[in-house]
Amino acid sequence: MKQELKEISLEKIYPNFYQPREKFDKEQIQELASSILSNGLINPISVRVWKGNKFMIVAGERRWRAHKIAGLKTIQAVVKEYKNDSEWMIESLIENLQRENLTSIERENYITKIWKIGKFQSYGELAKQLGVNEENIRQNIKANEIRKDLPKQASENISTRTLLDTQRLEKKEKIELLTKISKGDIQQTDSNTIRNYSRVLEVSPKDVKEALFNDRINVQQAQRISKLSSEKERERAIKQHSAIKNVEQNVERNIKNQTDNQAKRSWDKRLVETKNWLNGFKYAVTEHRQSAEKCFKILMIATKFLPVMDDNQKEKLNDDLDRFLETLEKSKQIADKIQGYVEK
């Protein structure tokens, strides 16, 4: 593969129409722009010749965008020649996978695009080129097919693994379950939970499915209730579990309210204590400031008559001086208390 390092005008470079990454974090690109202005570009981008003297990005669109934000006119780029589209598409995918994790949707879409070029005879051949196992390719392409058949609210924020774990469900149930997962009502980080949920939905009667979707029962309860052959028995069991759940929720709500009330009382008490402390502090500051000013004035006046004072007058002046020093010491203690309070 021929390649050459060049300094190319940003105006001659175009983003990759088949870019794996579909969304770019503006804040991260702004940070990258600041870094480039401070430290320069560490890794050149990769481009391919496209339409005469124009170039298309193979790897490094974030760096290219950061250059534009930074107000730079040119960028260092490695110009490469590729034998076919699959070569540069694979390089673009690998570069994105290594630098920053793609979302499940982005990865599925791009792997599917590469596969549909038709260059590879098997999933195994494509997997070898990408440096992943064959099952990984199969799962991404399968998940891409499933996702395209779903409405947006049931497919956004859904991982490839979760799509595969729910693939055997009927479409209506699949959409309802995936919508709950997408909203965060069910955590998809635990694959076992999703698989158990799906298995229960596969074998459960309609009334049990509805109760499960409405959160009247949990997965384990649904599994047990589904074994009851009579609809009346199932209805009774659902009502019992639902009643128990309501009681548990009421208990939790009461405990939370009690805890909140205790916290509020504690907070109110602390507010009163703080208010009293501040009032006492303001009074002490005012008192000591007035006392310090009074002592200071007396001393200033007295020192003028020091040469003509008798012993009794000098003794009184010493007492005033002691009181002045004591006032200063108390003021210092107050200042130390303030500093200690601030540092906490």
Is 210 or 273 the better-scoring residue by pLDDT? 210
In the chain, the N- to C-terminal Cα span, in Å, equals 64
Which residues are paired to 77 by β-bridges? 6, 45
Helix axes 61-69, 26-39, angle to 10 degrees: 70
Does pLDDT of 40 surpass 70? yes
Confidence of residue 67 (pLDDT cuts 50, 70, 90): very high
**64-77: average pLDDT:** 91
Round the average pLDDT of the chain to a whole number and report it.
80
Dist. CA 213–CA 235, nearest whole Å: 15
Q: Which residue has the tokens 């003021």?
A: 331
Q: Are 162 and 179 within 8 A, CB to CB? A: no
Dist. CA 161–CA 143, nearest whole Å: 8
pLDDT digits (tens, 9 = 90+) for 127-155: 887 778 899 999 999 999 999 888 888 88
pTM to 2 decimal places:
0.53
**284-309: average pLDDT:** 66
Dist. CA 311–CA 316, nearest whole Å: 9
pLDDT digits (tens, 9 = 90+) for 149-178: 888 888 878 889 999 999 999 999 999 999
pLDDT digits (tens, 9 = 90+) for 260-293: 777 777 777 776 776 676 666 666 666 666 666 6
